[in-house]
Amino acid sequence: MKYAKLTIASEFIKGKIDKRIYGSFVEHLGRCVYGGIFEPGHPEADENGFRLDVLDLIKELDIPVVRYPGGNFVSGYNWEDGIGPVKDRPRRLELAWGTLETNEFGTDEFMAWCKKAGTAPMMAVNLGTRGPDEARQLVEYCNHPGGTYLSDLRKKYGSDLPYDVKLWCLGNEMDGPWQMGAKTSVEYGRTACEAAKIMKWTDPTIETVLCGSSSWGMKTFGEWETASLDIAYDHVDYVSMHQYHSNNDNYLENFLAKGVETDSFIDSVIAALDYVQGKRHSKKRIDISFDEWNVWYHSNGAEFEKWSKAPHLLEDVYNFADTLVVGTMLNSIINHADRVKIACLAQLVNVIAPIMTEDGGKAWRQTIYYPFWFASKYGRGYALQQIKDTSKYDTRWYTDVPHVDTSSILSEDGNELVIFAVNRDTEDEITLETKLCDFDGFRVIEHIAMEDTDPMAFNTKDSEVVKPVSKALPELDGRIMKCSLKPMSWNMIRLRK
């Protein structure tokens, strides 16, 4: 018998949700920038070349922070190539992805775009082919008010006011052999330490993110975090995590279970960070920036023309099953709100993204757009500590996978309770029975679901078949709420006082 029981109380708070967990990521990769957010000449483009149809979809997602310009791209990037008169900017071979970078879009364009999108920039610096000096110069260009060569250059190029970029990533995936300028943990720890130190001397108000290992599966994982963090501890504020799930072997039950690996990965990173804190007898706690996460596998092996500008790269077309996995990853991030302070859905447009565009044509929502949209809109406030009791299943890879995965959020004013629930079971409807310990006066106001769909169904520019629907309200009898969750469904239940 499959079942799911949840007990929550408004006083049992796991952590305040930092709104930056609903961040995203724009890399100079494929058609994310060129043909994604930026397409001069498109009928919907503004005077800057920013696509307004894309901006509308992005604004709906209410993304507080966007990481830029990479990703692997940043490890070979000269930020100076992307400023000044566009006609003078160099065209370069982009070695991370084997494409042509024209530099028509650079730091100043990104800052202007962020303003228009209502988001804040999270900049990454090149610690691959370059180092601390170029990094602190970029901080000076962006954040110093004026009266120096670089800050005056920014003024000359159009921005009198500093950009005031608060968040800075110290390179990207520096333990990956695919990374330009990859390093050992000690080499990276030293470089990142010195970069962060002088970046903070340039602007003491910034926060820095040390690169964690590129993935949980890396041989370097663990030793990398502890060794590099121990070296750079005094100058960094967060350590990054990256995770992408795939269904390469076409094994649905196993794929739907992958969120458990997100939980374990986050727990392992927390353990590594706390170990270093303890070892150093430090009062300072380091938190997590989960600055790349998503499902990524559909586009693997896609061919493209080498050294071409903005080819169709990493253009995963997401299906309904991916929506469920994204829903469980969001639950995991919310359930770790006490330690995950930043998270970036990778990426934003076209490249493993919730939004797709056609060159010169339409923009549309992929299936994974929706769980992110609902989480960003309703998943703000406090993550509640949940007592969960649900039946479980095993796959070849995982054991004890909960059939139902949930997160529960109390709004900041305490008047709204939101439960996100994914039924992973492929066959049976399961009743989620929630005991609401102290939510007197709350009534159910909404049940939205994504369900009853072929797991392989996807959206196209002309047909949005995978989308949320409104459901009959679940019954609330005293303190017990019962809500039926269809097999393979994503659900949001809202209650208000």
Active centre residues (catalytic): 173, 292
**Among the listed residues 138, 185, 186, 129, the one whose alpha carbon sits nearest the alpha carbon of residue 165:** 138
Does 346 engage in binding with ligand AHR (CB under 6 A)?
A: yes
Q: Which stretch binds ligand AHR (CB under 6 A): 11-19, 66-74, 273-281, 317-325?
A: 66-74
Q: Please give the residues from 83 up to 142 whose contact with ligand AHR meets the rule CB under 6 A.
A: none
Pair 8, 386: CB distance under 8 Å: yes
Does 347 engage in binding with ligand AHR (CB under 6 A)?
A: yes
The residue within the footprint of ligand AHR, chosen from 18, 27, 287, 405 (CB under 6 A), is 27
Q: Which stretch binds ligand AHR (CB under 6 A): 68-76, 80-88, 221-229, 333-341?
A: 68-76
Does 292 engage in binding with ligand AHR (CB under 6 A)?
A: yes
Q: How far is Cα 207 from Cα 205, in angstroms, rounded to an integer?
A: 7
Does 243 engage in binding with ligand AHR (CB under 6 A)?
A: no
Kind and range of the H or E run holding 193:
helix 185-202
Does 71 engage in binding with ligand AHR (CB under 6 A)?
A: yes
Of 9 and 182, CB closest to ligand AHR: 182
Of 211 and 417, CB closest to ligand AHR: 211
**Among the listed residues 142, 210, 136, the one whose alpha carbon sits nearest the alpha carbon of residue 172:** 210
Does 240 engage in binding with ligand AHR (CB under 6 A)?
A: no
CB of residue 102 to ligand AHR, shortest distance in Å: 19
Residue whose C-beta lies closest to ligand AHR: 71
Cα–Cα distances (Å) from 479 to 30, 112, 156, 200, 211, in that order, read 51, 50, 63, 51, 45
**Among the listed residues 449, 445, 428, 436, the one whose alpha carbon sits nearest the alpha carbon of residue 492:** 449
Q: Based on DSSP, count helices (H) and strands (E) in the chain, helices before strands.
A: 10, 26
CB of residue 428 to ligand AHR, shortest distance in Å: 35
Does 173 engage in binding with ligand AHR (CB under 6 A)?
A: yes
Does 70 engage in binding with ligand AHR (CB under 6 A)?
A: yes
The strand pair at 92-94 and 65-68 is best described as unpaired
List CB contacts of 301: < 8 A, sequence separation 6 or more.
none
Tokens matching residue 425: 């079971």
Does 350 engage in binding with ligand AHR (CB under 6 A)?
A: no
- Polymer length in residues for the chain: 497
End-to-end alpha-carbon separation of the chain, Å? 34
Does 316 engage in binding with ligand AHR (CB under 6 A)?
A: no
CB of residue 400 to ligand AHR, shortest distance in Å: 29
Tell me whether the omega of the peptide bond preceding residue 35 falls within 30 degrees of 0, making it cis: no
CB of residue 32 to ligand AHR, shortest distance in Å: 9
CB of residue 26 to ligand AHR, shortest distance in Å: 10
Does 72 engage in binding with ligand AHR (CB under 6 A)?
A: yes
CB of residue 68 to ligand AHR, shortest distance in Å: 12
Of 14 and 242, CB closest to ligand AHR: 242
DSSP H helices in 222-368 = 223-232, 252-256, 259-279, 320-335
Of 169 and 260, CB closest to ligand AHR: 169
CB of residue 364 to ligand AHR, shortest distance in Å: 21
Q: Which stretch binds ligand AHR (CB under 6 A): 65-73, 247-255, 262-270, 439-447?
A: 65-73
Q: How far is Cα 230 from Cα 233, in angstroms, rounded to an integer?
A: 5
Using CA atoms in the order 331, 332, 335, 341, what is the torsion angle rounded to 10 degrees?
-110
Query: Site mask, ligand AHR, residues 354-393, x = CB under 6 A?
Result: ----------------------------------------
Cα four-point dihedral sign 110, 111, 113, 119: positive
Tell me whether the omega of the peptide bond preceding residue 347 falls within 30 degrees of 0, making it cis: yes
* Residues engaged in binding ligand AHR (CB under 6 A): 27, 70-72, 172-173, 242, 292, 346-347
